[in-house]
Structure 1
């Protein structure tokens, strides 16, 4: 058994997220599949069987059931299975199971680390590994009990040289045409917003030069004639009347 202190802070948060991903129903199906293939019942900690994550980890942590399962799928994958209860022997069994799965064709992202099982860290990854292994077994035409989704078979298409040359004769719809989608007239990212389109702005500038203002050549427009300069004394009597009185 692995002994380590309780987790706190971020480690505790990661541990809780990992425990939340564990699906007891999927774990029970995986264990039933292991027992059906190996024809050997798992060693549960209590008579109640699989009741939680700890029971799942206890049944598989010695690696004996996992190695036996792999030898049924691919005979000779694990040469020697350790039956001793020593921790390093149990870890060695799990390591040989993982190496055998990789040699069997299982992808590295579908595997788990030894501590994920032996220290009950990420038991949901062990369940996912068993499901992936079951799907790969179906692909390899295993005639025993199955679990998971069958891995799709590769379906290559081989075209002759003549068929490939025919593709060069196809002319795209936009070849020789300027009516396709383009970015013409679009405002570049980051520039100011143009209320008036650029072409209309040019026309306004040209047309504006042809307009003659109403005050051009005229003295009838608004002016400051007759206004008192700022700071001068106020004139009660206009200048014209003042001169007439004199």
Structure 2
């Protein structure tokens, strides 16, 4: 885990401190509250990074969250309650695979080590926030702004042909006010 790693120094330490400074305890607290409401688990909703990590690091709560949003996504026999590190990391991987299937964009999904080794808890928050926006899609309380829905429009062939005769103003117009006749500066003497 994170306490077994060597301390970062130089450029690596600066980069790590920048990433760590982006962590938002208020957002983490809101996400933990959302998880607590959905799963019914008795978890602390303090947004402190230590509490956030301790609550989610074994991946069990995350797997339960997925199963609340879409029951049966992660079978109970796949969720590991073992104390072994790789089994806990496996739970996080099950969560990440399921989140991608539920529609969270790949650029908003964190890597297992971001949570397991506390390398980037901000990316964990971003992933959970993206999942929380999709809550209403699965009939549960969502968190954050409502996601846009597709609005597919089907035009008949006649409507498509009618649109081809219209010249869009994007192509310009020779009507109305224009700059013809404007002479700026000195004229060119030949």
* TM-score bin (small chain): 0.7 to 0.9
In structure 2, the residue matched to 1:105 is: 103
Instruction: Compute the RMSD of aligned alpha carbons.
Output: 2.5
User: Is residue 53 from structure 1 mapped to residue 53 from structure 2 by the alignment?
Assistant: no
Quick one: distance in 2 between partners of 1:172 and 1:155? Answer: 23
How far did 1:100 drift?
Answer: 0.6
How far did 1:37 drift?
Answer: 0.7
Q: Any stretches of 5+ residues in structure 1 without a counterpart? A: 187-194, 203-246
Quick one: distance in 2 between partners of 1:88 and 1:94? Answer: 10
Moved more, 149-158 or 88-97: 149-158
Quick one: distance in 1 between partners of 2:174 and 2:29? Answer: 64
Q: Aligned in 2, Cα 1:20/1:180: closer, same or farther, shift over 3 Å?
A: same
Which structure would you say has the larger RCO, counting Cα contacts within 8 Å and 6 or more residues apart? Answer: 2
Q: Aligned in 2, Cα 1:171/1:25: closer, same or farther, shift over 3 Å?
A: closer
How far did 1:19 drift?
Answer: 1.3
1:127-170 per-residue CA deviation (whole Å, 9 max, x = no partner) reads 111111011222x242x332222211011121111111112222
How far did 1:22 drift?
Answer: 0.7
* TM-score w.r.t. length of structure 1: 0.67
Q: Which has the larger Rg?
A: 1
3-state DSSP class of the match of 2:62?
helix
Quick one: distance in 2 between partners of 1:160 and 1:88? Answer: 56
Aligned with residue 67 of structure 1, among 63, 69, 81: 63
Quick one: distance in 2 between partners of 1:67 and 1:158? Answer: 40
* Residues 82, 93 of structure 1: 8 Å contact kept: yes
3-state DSSP class of the match of 2:115?
helix
1:153-197 per-residue CA deviation (whole Å, 9 max, x = no partner) reads 0111211111111122224676789x9779xx99xxxxxxxx864
Q: Any stretches of 5+ residues in structure 2 without a counterpart? A: none
Quick one: distance in 2 between partners of 1:172 and 1:24? Answer: 50
* Residues 27, 47 of structure 2: 8 Å contact kept: no
Quick one: distance in 1 between partners of 2:57 and 2:174? Answer: 69
3-state DSSP class of the match of 1:7?
coil
* TM-score w.r.t. length of structure 2: 0.85
Aligned with residue 155 of structure 2, among 159, 163, 178: 159
Q: Aligned in 2, Cα 1:163/1:15: closer, same or farther, shift over 3 Å?
A: same
User: Is residue 16 from structure 1 mapped to residue 17 from structure 2 by the alignment?
Assistant: yes
Quick one: distance in 1 between partners of 2:168 and 2:145? Answer: 41
How far did 1:55 drift?
Answer: 1.8
Quick one: distance in 2 between partners of 1:31 and 1:56? Answer: 8
* Residues 135, 141 of structure 2: 8 Å contact kept: no
Quick one: distance in 1 between partners of 2:168 and 2:129? Answer: 46
3-state DSSP class of the match of 2:110?
coil
